[in-house]
Structure 1
Amino acid sequence: MQSKQLAANLLLFDAEVKKGVKQAELLARAKDLGFSMVEVRREYFQDITAEIPEVKAQATALDLKLFYSVPDELFVAGKVNPKLTGYFEEGQQLGIEKIKFNIGDFANYQGELQRDFAPFLNQGIEVNIENDQTQTSGTLTPILTFLKAAVAADVDIRYVYDLGNWPFVGEDFLAGAKALAVYTRYIHVKDVTEKEGQPFVQPLDEGHIDWRQALAVLPKDVPVALEYPTDNDALIKAGLQKLLAL
C-alpha cells in the first residue's frame, strides 16, 4: 500500500470490551501494536459523557487520529435522522477526523440534501456511509443511488468500503469494490468464512475472501482499518504486516 494509513477499529478488542475495558484504555494498546489511527465505536461506550474526554485526552497524548463509528442511520422514516446533531457534537468533543453512518431510509426521502446536511458538513469532520449487513443499507443499488444523489447535490458524503459485509447480504465483494471505488475514502478489511451455514468474520487469510484482490481496485491513498474480533495480539500484528506488505 502506498499510503500506509493503517487504522485499528476497536472491534479488534471486542473480547476486552466485553470484560469491561473502556475504549480509552485500549488506545495505548493500539498504538503499541503499530497503528496511528483508531476508530472508536459508539456502542462500546459504557458512560459516553464521562468517557469522551478520556478518549480525547488519551488520543492527544498518544498522537492518534480518531475516527468515529456510529451504528445509526442518516435517514429514518424518509427524513434526516434527528439524532445526527448529537452525534456530531460527540464527534467534535472527541476531536475526530471521520464519522461513519449507515444510509437508512433514503428511498422515501423527499428533502433537499444540500439544505438538510449543510449544518453537518461545515464542521471539519469527513462524513461517510458504509455498507452494513442489511438489504436497506448494505447492498450495492441503494448505496450507489445515495452516493450519486449526494454527488449531484454537491453534498460531501462519501463511502466506507467494508469488505466483510458483502457476504452477509449475498452480494459480490469485488463487484462492490469496482462500482464504489470512486466514492471510497476509507476501507475496512476482514475475512469471512462459513459457520453453521452463516457468514462468520475472521482474521485476514482465514476465510474465503480475496481481500488483496479487492484492495487492488480500491484507492491506495485512503486509510485502511483492520476490523475483526480477536483476543490474540499476534493475529492483529499479522494482519498489520499483511497490509504493510502490499
Structure 2
Amino acid sequence: MEKGNSVNLVKNTARVTNVPIVIVASAFGVEAIRRDGHAHWAAVAAKAGAAGFEVRRELFADDTQSQPDSLRELGDKIRAAGMWPVYSTPATLFDDQGALDESAMTLTLAEADALGARIVKFQLGGSPVTGTATDESTLDRLIAGVAGSKSKVVVENGQLKAGGTIDAFAALFEALKPRKHTLSMTFDTGNWRWANQDPLDAAKRLGEYVTYVHCKAVQGEGARRFATAPAMDDTYFTTLLAQLPRDVPRGIEFPFDPAHMADDAARYVQQIATA
C-alpha cells in the first residue's frame, strides 16, 4: 500500500472508532526531540493521522522553551498542523510528604495555558507510605486550583511506589467523589508493572476516573524493564483496554524505530485506535 493511502486509512480508522490518538513526543526519542524540537516531530505525528501531540517538558533543550512566548509559538504550530496539544510535566501534584504542591501546580497550569493545551498531565507524587493528603483543606485548594485551569487536569500513575499504587489513586478519588471537581486520571498501561501493581486490578478499580490512556506494553523484569509496542495479538493489552473508557484519548508512549519513525507512527496510530 502506498504511504499516502496508508495515512488516509489511519485517519479514517481513527474517525470511525471515535478514539482520538495522541502521539507522545518521547516516542520519537529523547535525542530526536532535543535536536529537532517538538514542532518538527509534531508535523510527523500529524501526517501519521494523530489527533493530538503530547509535549514533554523534560525534553525541552533549554529553559527558554518553557517560557510563555515559546510555548505559545509551539502550540500555534501544533494547531496549524491540525492537532491539539497535550502538556506533560514531571512535576507532581503532591510532594514527597504527601502535601499539595501548590507552587508546582500553579507554574505548570500557567505553562499549559500558554501552550493552549487541551490536557495537562501531572505525576501524582505523594509519600510512598501514606500517599497523598485528603483532608478538607487540601481538597478545597486542589479543587480550586484545578477549576482555574483552561486545560483538563489529569494525574498519571508513575513508575515509583510514590504515586504509582492503586490504593493511592483510589484514596484520593474516593475522597474527592462527594465533591464537585474536574480532576481525572491518566491511566498508563505499563507503569503499573514498575510499581509492582496489577494493571487489570487498577483498571477495574480506577476506570471510572480515567479520561486519558497512555498505551504501552512492558518487557523484561525488575530494573531491566522497558516499554515496547503492544503486539497485534496481545490479548492481555486488549483485555486491559476493554476495562477502560472507550472514547477517551489514547497516547502512544513507546519508542518508534529510529530508522522508520514516520512509518511506525502511521502504523501504530491505526493499531492503537482499533485495539
Q: TM-score surpassing 0.5?
A: yes
- 2:11 — aligned with what? none
Q: Does 1:133 align with 2:133?
A: no
- 1:90 — aligned with what? 111
Question: 1:187 is paired with a residue of what secondary structure?
Answer: strand
- 1:144 — aligned with what? 170
- 1:180 — aligned with what? 206
Question: 1:102 is paired with a residue of what secondary structure?
Answer: strand
- 1:41 — aligned with what? 56
Mapped partners of 2:186, 2:201: distance in 1: 15
Q: Does 1:227 align with 2:253?
A: yes
Q: Does 1:5 align with 2:20?
A: yes
Greater shift, 32-41 or 144-153, is seen at: 144-153
Q: Which of 158, 169, 190 does residue 164 from structure 1 map onto?
A: 190
8 Å CA contact 2:33, 2:41 repeated in 1: no
Aligned residues: 246
Mapped partners of 1:15, 1:157: distance in 2: 29
Question: 1:101 is paired with a residue of what secondary structure?
Answer: strand
1:109-124 residue pairs with structure 2 within 5 A? Answer: 110=135, 111-124=137-150
Mapped partners of 1:187, 1:208: distance in 2: 17
Bigger fraction of residues in helix: 2
Greater shift, 160-169 or 147-156, is seen at: 147-156
Deviation of the 1:187 alpha carbon: 0.4
Q: Does 1:32 align with 2:53?
A: no
Deviations 1:105-140 (A, max 9, x none): 253464331234313313321111111001110111
8 Å CA contact 1:114, 1:155 repeated in 2: no
Mapped partners of 1:45, 1:227: distance in 2: 17
Relative to structure 1, is the Cα distance of residues 40 and 172 closer, same or farther in structure 2, using a 3 angstrom cutoff? same
8 Å CA contact 1:27, 1:59 repeated in 2: yes
Deviation of the 1:207 alpha carbon: 10
8 Å CA contact 2:25, 2:56 repeated in 1: yes
Mapped partners of 1:212, 1:117: distance in 2: 33
8 Å CA contact 1:102, 1:132 repeated in 2: yes
Partner amino acid for 2:94?
Answer: F
8 Å CA contact 1:78, 1:109 repeated in 2: no
Q: Which of 84, 88, 100 does residue 80 from structure 1 map onto?
A: 100
8 Å CA contact 1:192, 1:206 repeated in 2: no
8 Å CA contact 1:128, 1:160 repeated in 2: yes
Mapped partners of 2:157, 2:106: distance in 1: 22
Relative to structure 1, is the Cα distance of residues 153 and 57 closer, same or farther in structure 2, using a 3 angstrom cutoff? same
Question: 1:28 is paired with a residue of what secondary structure?
Answer: helix
Mapped partners of 1:68, 1:12: distance in 2: 15
Deviation of the 1:235 alpha carbon: 2.9
Mapped partners of 1:93, 1:115: distance in 2: 22
Deviations 1:8-67 (A, max 9, x none): 111111154366121122111110111111111111112322631331120121121111
Bigger fraction of residues in strand: 1
Q: Does 1:20 align with 2:35?
A: yes
Partner amino acid for 2:100?
Answer: V
Query: What TM-score results when the alignment is normalised by the length of structure 1?
Result: 0.90
Mapped partners of 1:35, 1:170: distance in 2: 31
Relative to structure 1, is the Cα distance of residues 73 and 186 closer, same or farther in structure 2, using a 3 angstrom cutoff? same
- 1:237 — aligned with what? 266
Mapped partners of 1:19, 1:120: distance in 2: 30
| Ranges in structure 2 where 5+ consecutive residues have no aligned partner | 1-13
Mapped partners of 1:156, 1:181: distance in 2: 15
Question: 1:120 is paired with a residue of what secondary structure?
Answer: helix
Q: Which of 57, 60, 63 does residue 76 from structure 2 map onto?
A: 57
Partner amino acid for 1:36?
Answer: A
8 Å CA contact 1:158, 1:183 repeated in 2: yes
- 2:6 — aligned with what? none
1:95-106 residue pairs with structure 2 within 5 A? Answer: 95-105=116-126, 106=131
Mapped partners of 1:178, 1:152: distance in 2: 20
